[in-house]
Chain A
Amino acid sequence: MTIAPEAPHATHRRREFTDNDGHPVGYGRMLRKEDPRFVRGQGKYVDDVVLPGMLHLAILRSPVAHARILSIDTSAAEAHPKVKAVVTGADLAKQGLAWMPTLSNDVQAVLVTDKVRFQGQEVAFVVAEDRYSARDALELIDVEYDVLPAVADVRNALAPDAPVIRDDLDGKKDNHCFDWETGDEAATAKVFDEAQVKVTQDMVYPRVHPAPMETCGCVADFERVAGKLTLWCTSQAPHAHRTLYALVAGIPEHKIRVISPDIGGGFGNKVPIYPGYVCSVVASIVTGKPVKWMEDRAENLISTGFARDYVMRGEIAATKDGRIQAIRTNVLADHGAFNGTAAPVKYPAGFFGVFTGSYDLDAAYCKMTAVYTNKAPGGVAYACSFRITEAVYLVERLVDCLAYELKMDPAELRRKNFIRPEQFPYTTQTGWVYDSGEYERTLDKAMELADYAGLRREQAQRREHGELMGIGMSFFTEAVGAGPRKDMDILGLGMADGCELRVHPTGKAVVRLSVQSQGQGHETTFAQIVAEELGIPPEDIDVVHGDTDNTPFGLGTYGSRSTPVSGAAAALVARKVRDKARIIASGMLECSIADLEWEKGSFHVTGDPTQSVTIQDIAMRAHGAGDLPEGLEAQICYNPENLTYPFGCYICVVDVDPGTAVVKVRKFVAVDDCGTQINPMIIEGQVQGGCAEGVGMALMQMIAFDEDGNCLSASFMDYLIPTALEVPHWINGSTVTPSPHHPIGAKGVGESATVGSPPAVVNAVIDALAPFGIRHADMPLTPSRVWDAMQGHPTPSF
């Protein structure tokens, strides 16, 4: 085991402040500061929280997808010797707590009062002395269900005879959830009418699940005397959650403390507020004891935020020589039983509007219909950048379909249609302002790393021997870092983030963030951002996050927004501290502010480098006697001017066994451009993890249902996570196109790979199947589906 050596005593370090990888004072590769505690098993997760007298909560979940509840008999459960409370929807209704708002201005049942609307929905809960007794008591609750026909196939949701799921909503007579459109319908129609080449392709982005290693859970501790609630919770957005609890539960906001300790993966699964959290709060209030609730894996898979579930028809119009003119799409979106989408409220389809991709088009149009079905709510999760996964899959598959029809090389077709560097900032046909890009450079780099020409030659040879080798490419543009707050809010909370920085007298520092890590490495990245601005080594900077009592307000970590938003805040707050340090330095060096020059970590008098003071000297002086300004600290809130638009080019090589249809991913090249790189090692880690997820989605993952709405993917035996054996050695590369509006030029990267990799893998498989005349097959491309496609059945019913 290697352990990062202790940093040398830093107080008087001066000139050695360089980006010496391994020990950068600022940007560069360095081991993650948080990892020693994870690799030594010293992380503190929600389930590690144990409080005196703590009780355990378990949730009774519906075994059926759609049913009226006729009766619930809890008497046997209540008689269990270790049970402290049994609570049903009727009990919650008396307190006005049976329903809660979702993040999309819909409502969701905390516990069922009238009707079950998806399998796994929360029906009642038990609080007992231990985890086992709580679950034993669930078996003693007798519920009588009047089972109703279920809407399990989204394509039947709007049929006239479909059972109405949301009869709780006034006057609701169908399963329509919302309509949404973007782009110019008429202009797009005109381009299509006149186009030389038109390709239409239906495709399904199936329902998948982020399946974080740690399931959701919380410990709620309501202190009756103080009237204060402390909630340790698997939350990606502790501040937003606190405000929502104040609004729902009626506990004053200053009496609520939400703590997100170490979180074992989020991927958007931990953005919503789940009934389990609310039940735990109620349970603690009712019993006067701390209450713990941790989901089982099955509960996590069947009831918490799913991802995707878009049935899409894509159309692409082009000239005969391959100039893409327009893209049009019609989407049927399955939102489950409640609209619990976690996206900015003005964006009910998230950022799907970027489906125009990386291409310079004449027109684009999307029409979407969202519906309710008898399935769990959610929709925005699994590192999707607010639905850019779906958008990129649509456009990158369409471009490959066009290449297939035009018999053009897919790489060259992309190159021909890229938005050119001089066109940035570029306003797309759906109104998104891409901040910067130099796409061709990234494409070239990926093709070079992959030896694209050599691969094509190899493929031609192999095809002669009947071997099925496929090369797939995707080129994606992401839109990350929500807000600006004038356009983007979640239930009225603007998407901006605060940051506080304090330099202690000895020159060590603490930076407090409003965003929160679920494994992304915030404790390292944010220390490096401050280090770059102040010249204090990252080891000397403590990063505090995930505790509403100890951090400034902000909207949290999801949608790749931490570095674009909070990272900017961290840089700016450090600059604010540096401005103050300059004033103190001018006093110390007895010169005017204008005569001071900053070199990372110290100020010196212009023209005389021997007259200098370090940031550590200044910190001590700021806390000393004398008449210089007191302290060295600052606070800001950063409201982004625009999103940032990272991009990348991924190339995947697969071999398909012609006899068994088994797909083997042989090679994967990922070239990412996320602007300025803070810690390239962390960036590569984020990309590699996302690429593995992409292989999972493309080849093996789907949350499937039978016609009665039973979930068929409720365990890791049925919902597959790829292992090291299914993924190749990743080849990472990068280009750097800084964001012009971001204080340090950085763009988010957390979701680039989950967005960009699925179409690269699918394009590769379809390319391998070209000898069979196949242009498309739906994910997940399991051996069975690939074989079915080879037999001429590319789109299975699901």
Chain B
Amino acid sequence: MRGVIMQVPAPIEYERATDVAHAVDLLERLGQDARLVAGGHSLIPMMKLRLTDVEYLVDINDLHDELGYIRIGADEVRIGAMTRHRELLESAELAAAFPIFGDAEKVIADPVVRNRGTIGGSLCQADPSEDLSAVCTTLDASCVIRGRDGERVVSMDDFYRGPYETAVGQAEILTEIRFPVRPGGSSAYFKVERRAGDWAVTSAGAAVWMADGVVTDARVGLAAVGPNTTGMPQISALLRGQEPTEDLYERAGALAAAHCSPSPDGRGSVAYKRHLAGELTRRSLRRAVERIQPSTVHEKER
């Protein structure tokens, strides 16, 4: 039997990719034991703990020029996979299009991690407590995956295969995340953590679209309470065509609490996480609506 926990990685080989094609090439050539490293803030800790047997690291940080971008279009926002947390946090255009990014990035990890960690690494790590997956689910994002045979585009639901598992194949790379832009919408994100920089106990994001004082569509994404990539159609169905009210948020929250599957751990009990899924869903729906209709801001929530 192996000894307990180590914090020093095993020997590895290291290659630097110069562009996407080169990265795919290296992955193909080095086979099963090769792994991409982006910000390294998920992969390197796992290697230090010797929880993953990587033999070759293919470093894609030189691809930041190619894959580090935020492009705001009229009906679509495109974010390159190598865009760092910090860039997402600091982009005013992104905040204007999707305020949920600013809300979430403020509470993801700490400045040191945010300086290096990337949106691509976050999604590909597929940690069940990961915040950007919830954001992408909320915004109904799709992921662009490139391999030797070209590109394919998958929905979040298809992308996420389970904890630490995604649709990205062995010799493939996630290059871009795309977000549809629809008029009359806004979004928000709330997270409860035990301490600044900690992973979520539970988080919830909401996106709402409205016309003439009525909700036309809404999506909710949760983190740390089990698989959650559908945007919660039950909540969309409840809200569509309704005028937003406290009672409506209450019922939406109840749906979120009912339709998640948290497990107990040091961060909290199942009952508490369920409660939070409801409470934070209510808060983010309310905030998203307030952002669309600033006049509705509740005194208490200012």
B269 interface residue per 8 A CB criterion: yes
Q: Least Cβ distance of B4 to chain A in Å?
A: 4
For A143, list chain B residues within 8 Å (CB). 1, 3
For B280, list chain A residues within 8 Å (CB). 660
Question: How large, as a class, is the contact surface on chain B?
Answer: 20 to 34
A659 touches B283 (CB 8 A): yes
A700 touches B6 (CB 8 A): no
User: How many residue pairs, one in A and one in B, have C-beta atoms under 8 Å apart?
Assistant: 97
**The 7 residue pairs across chains A and B that have the minimum distance between CB atoms:** A784-B268, A296-B7, A725-B196, A784-B272, A298-B5, A63-B4, A60-B3
Assuming the contacts A132-B11, A720-B194, A725-B196, asked whether A782 and B3 have C-beta atoms less than 8 A apart, the reply is no
Assuming the contacts A138-B3, A700-B195, asked whether A784 and B279 have C-beta atoms less than 8 A apart, the reply is no
B33 interface residue per 8 A CB criterion: no
Q: Least Cβ distance of A568 to chain B in Å?
A: 40
Interface 0/1 of B56-86, CB less than 8 Å to A:
0000000000000000000000000000000
A145 interface residue per 8 A CB criterion: yes
For A141, list chain B residues within 8 Å (CB). 3
Contact of A660 among B5, B7, B50, B279 (CB under 8 A): B279
A-B contact pairs, 18 of them (CB 8 A): A60-B3, A61-B4, A62-B4, A64-B1, A132-B11, A139-B50, A143-B3, A296-B8, A298-B5, A298-B6, A302-B4, A302-B5, A660-B276, A700-B194, A726-B195, A784-B269, A787-B272, A787-B275
B8 touches A131 (CB 8 A): yes
For A119, list chain B residues within 8 Å (CB). 4
Q: Least Cβ distance of A376 to chain B in Å?
A: 12
Complex alpha-carbon distance, A296 and B9, angstroms: 12
Assuming the contacts A660-B276, A720-B195, A720-B198, asked whether A783 and B7 have C-beta atoms less than 8 A apart, the reply is no
Name which of A61, A712, A787 has the most chain B CB atoms within 10 A of its CB.
A787
B214 interface residue per 8 A CB criterion: no
Interface 0/1 of A617-642, CB less than 8 Å to B:
00000000000000000000000000
B194 touches A788 (CB 8 A): no
A296 touches B268 (CB 8 A): no
A296 touches B6 (CB 8 A): yes
Interface residues in chain B, defined as those with a beta carbon under 8 Å from any beta carbon in chain A? 1-8, 10-11, 50, 192, 194-199, 201, 266-269, 271-273, 275-276, 279-280, 283
Q: Least Cβ distance of A276 to chain B in Å?
A: 14
Complex alpha-carbon distance, A714 and B6, angstroms: 10
B271 touches A791 (CB 8 A): yes
B276 touches A726 (CB 8 A): no
A144 interface residue per 8 A CB criterion: yes
B272 touches A783 (CB 8 A): yes
Given contacts A63-B2, A725-B196, A784-B268, 9 further A-B contacts (CB under 8 A): A61-B3, A61-B4, A135-B8, A138-B6, A143-B3, A298-B6, A298-B7, A660-B276, A722-B195
Q: Which A residue's beta carbon lies closest to that of B273? A: A784
Q: Least Cβ distance of B277 to chain A in Å?
A: 11
Q: Which B residue's beta carbon lies closest to that of A711? A: B4
Complex alpha-carbon distance, A61 and B4, angstroms: 6
Consensus secondary structure, chain B interface: loop
A297 interface residue per 8 A CB criterion: yes
B195 touches A784 (CB 8 A): no
Q: Which A residue's beta carbon lies closest to that of B268? A: A784
Identify which of residues 344-396 in chain A touch chain B, using a CB-to-CB cut-off of 8 Å. none
B266 touches A704 (CB 8 A): yes
Q: Least Cβ distance of A597 to chain B in Å?
A: 59
For B4, list chain A residues within 8 Å (CB). 61-63, 119-120, 298, 302, 714
Q: Least Cβ distance of A241 to chain B in Å?
A: 26
A123 interface residue per 8 A CB criterion: yes
Q: Least Cβ distance of B71 to chain A in Å?
A: 33
For A132, list chain B residues within 8 Å (CB). 8, 11
For B3, list chain A residues within 8 Å (CB). 60-63, 123, 138-139, 141, 143
A524 interface residue per 8 A CB criterion: no
Q: Which A residue's beta carbon lies closest to that of B283? A: A659
> What count of chain A residues pass the 8 Å CB interface test?
47
A42 interface residue per 8 A CB criterion: no
Identify which of residues 675-720 in chain A touch chain B, using a CB-to-CB cut-off of 8 Å. 700, 704, 712-715, 717-718, 720
A144 touches B1 (CB 8 A): yes
For A610, list chain B residues within 8 Å (CB). none
Q: Least Cβ distance of A780 to chain B in Å?
A: 9
Complex alpha-carbon distance, A216 and B300, angstroms: 49
A136 interface residue per 8 A CB criterion: yes
A723 interface residue per 8 A CB criterion: yes
Complex alpha-carbon distance, A791 and B6, angstroms: 40
Complex alpha-carbon distance, A630 and B225, angstroms: 78
Q: Least Cβ distance of B205 to chain A in Å?
A: 16
Complex alpha-carbon distance, A285 and B12, angstroms: 33
A736 interface residue per 8 A CB criterion: no
Complex alpha-carbon distance, A726 and B197, angstroms: 11
A662 interface residue per 8 A CB criterion: yes
Contact of B11 among A64, A136, A660 (CB under 8 A): A136
Complex alpha-carbon distance, A136 and B50, angstroms: 10
Assuming the contacts A298-B7, A700-B194, asked whether A139 and B2 have C-beta atoms less than 8 A apart, the reply is yes
B192 touches A145 (CB 8 A): no
Name which of B4, B271, B272, B275 has the most chain A CB atoms within 10 A of its CB.
B4
Q: Least Cβ distance of B152 to chain A in Å?
A: 34
Contact of B271 among A62, A726, A788 (CB under 8 A): A788
B201 touches A784 (CB 8 A): yes
For B197, list chain A residues within 8 Å (CB). 723
Complex alpha-carbon distance, A787 and B199, angstroms: 19
Q: Least Cβ distance of B283 to chain A in Å?
A: 7
Identify which of residues 119-138 in chain A touch chain B, using a CB-to-CB cut-off of 8 Å. 119-120, 123, 131-132, 135-136, 138
B279 touches A659 (CB 8 A): yes
Complex alpha-carbon distance, A69 and B78, angstroms: 57
For B5, list chain A residues within 8 Å (CB). 61, 120, 296, 298-299, 302, 714-715
Complex alpha-carbon distance, A266 and B17, angstroms: 45
For B2, list chain A residues within 8 Å (CB). 63, 139
Q: Least Cβ distance of B53 to chain A in Å?
A: 11
Q: Least Cβ distance of A208 to chain B in Å?
A: 14
Identify which of residues 750-793 in chain A touch chain B, using a CB-to-CB cut-off of 8 Å. 782-784, 787-788, 791
Complex alpha-carbon distance, A141 and B4, angstroms: 12
Q: Which A residue's beta carbon lies closest to that of B265? A: A712
Q: Least Cβ distance of B164 to chain A in Å?
A: 16
For B195, list chain A residues within 8 Å (CB). 700, 720, 722-723, 725-726
For A64, list chain B residues within 8 Å (CB). 1
For B6, list chain A residues within 8 Å (CB). 135, 138, 296, 298
Name which of A63, A299, A783 has the most chain B CB atoms within 10 A of its CB.
A783
Interface 0/1 of A261-301, CB less than 8 Å to B:
00000000000000000000000000000000000111100
Assuming the contacts A717-B199, A720-B194, asked whether A136 and B10 have C-beta atoms less than 8 A apart, the reply is yes
